[in-house]
Chains A and B, each alone.
Chain A
Amino acid sequence: MIGLVAVSHSRALAEAAVHLALQMGGDAPPRVRVAAGGPDDDLGTDAVAIAAAIDDADTGDGVLVLMDLGSAILSAETALEFVAQPGRVRLSPAPFVEGLVTAVVTAAGGGDLETVARECATAADAKARHLGADVGGPASGASSDAGDRGDEGALSFEAVVTAPSGLHARPAAVFVKAASRHDAEVRIADLETGADEVSGRSLLAVMALGIRQGSRVRVSASGPQAEAALEELRELFADGFGEG
């Protein structure tokens, strides 16, 4: 599993943000290290301390670094000159809190460094979409239960989510991981809310649907391995994602 480092001007800010993020980490969260605060416990950043935190967070699968602003970014860049394995360290452009939460969830879900970095890069999108939807009024399009509005040629199935937490956190991560394993374009729609269907390969997008226990969803897939993808995903739903 990849490791994470939280870099902030303020130790209190970093520790609180990590605490918040780790609530989403489940039973096996990633290793998260904090490098925050300057000398004299004042506000500030320290490139040498950041480098040490990166080395400490690296269990062999690489490290993603989340930063707040200003000198946190400059110091993190400088720290890359001192770390043991700079080739497997990424600095994320994500906003600090959203990035940490996304990183913890996607790392705990088994995402590799590139996957977690990619998810974090769009960590602010869910908030923007949410606020945009508020501004623009309720989302259009009521649910179309048995609808067959998927792409032409796409296969699909419908299922009810039985996991107590819905399709959230770990179940969502399991779903995305399975969907990403196949050469297929997997999409998922929440038929209760009628929200636009989203890519089944994006953990954040799936989580943003907020699919609850008891909700009916439609999973569709197209591409060379669409059938295999759906078969595996159908079994996950039948099994309640191991949480039923």
Chain B
Amino acid sequence: MSGSVSTGDLREWMRAFRNAVHEHKDELTRLDSEIGDADHGSNMARGLDAVIAKLDPVPATPAELVKTVGMTLVSSVGGASGPLYGTLFLRMGPVLGTRGEVDADTLGAALRAGVDGVIARGKTEPGDKTMIDALSPALDAWDAAAADGPASAARAAAEAAARGRDATEPLVARKGRASYLGERSAGHLDPGATSATLLLEALRDTLAAGE
């Protein structure tokens, strides 16, 4: 089964993401208190708790699962991460279609549609010091490694995301509450890029466990 990802795998991914966000909640909130409104960790933790509650029983297909995740996030997070992460998952659904399981190419294409949705929603581009700075390089890495299967693609994507996250530190924020700080936003990791990296690391860990 290393070549395909099931609905159950995707639920495990969400559980792993929820756990990682809880584990890093204080760190996310600290990062957000330096350049934002200090609610990213608690908002994401709350939203993901709601997501996990909605995924039992597990939805019938991957597309239904991501739709449930997206709708729950836009309604339960509270801050800007709600519509942004929510849009990411909502946009994945149409690409996943009616498939019961998905391969690396399809999952990569779905993630690409999701990230394009985030870019459109946030009017963001790479270098703005946002979650896109982790997600965009991650998708490029995913595509380059997709031929080796989803577990390899996720590993490459998580590494690229972490590099992208680290590269946000010197940047001046151009979007969100951090942009009000101007030059003072430089010198801190972006909280959104940090949680986005946790998202891809959670996928990496989930798919590695299934290999």
Chain A contacts to B: CB under 8 angstroms: 38-40, 42-49, 70-71, 74-75, 77-78, 81
Contact = CB atoms under 8 A, between A and B. Distances in A.
Interface residues on B, range: 20 to 34
Given A40-B46, A47-B86, A71-B83, A78 B177 contact: no
Given A70-B177, A74-B122, A42 B83 contact: no
Contact of A47 (B39, B82, B177): B82
B87 interface: yes
B78 A74 contact: no
Contacts of A46: 74-76, 78, 82
The secondary structure that dominates the B interface is helix
Contacts of A48: 71, 74-75
The secondary structure that dominates the A interface is helix
19 contacts: A39-B75, A40-B78, A44-B39, A45-B79, A45-B82, A46-B74, A46-B82, A47-B75, A47-B82, A48-B71, A48-B75, A70-B79, A70-B80, A71-B79, A71-B82, A74-B80, A75-B82, A78-B74, A78-B87
Contact of B176 (A70, A77, A78): A70
Given A46-B76, A81-B90, 17 more contacts: A38-B78, A39-B46, A39-B77, A43-B78, A45-B78, A45-B82, A46-B74, A49-B75, A70-B177, A71-B80, A74-B84, A74-B122, A75-B74, A77-B121, A78-B74, A78-B83, A78-B86
Given A40-B46, A70-B177, A74-B84, A47 B74 contact: yes
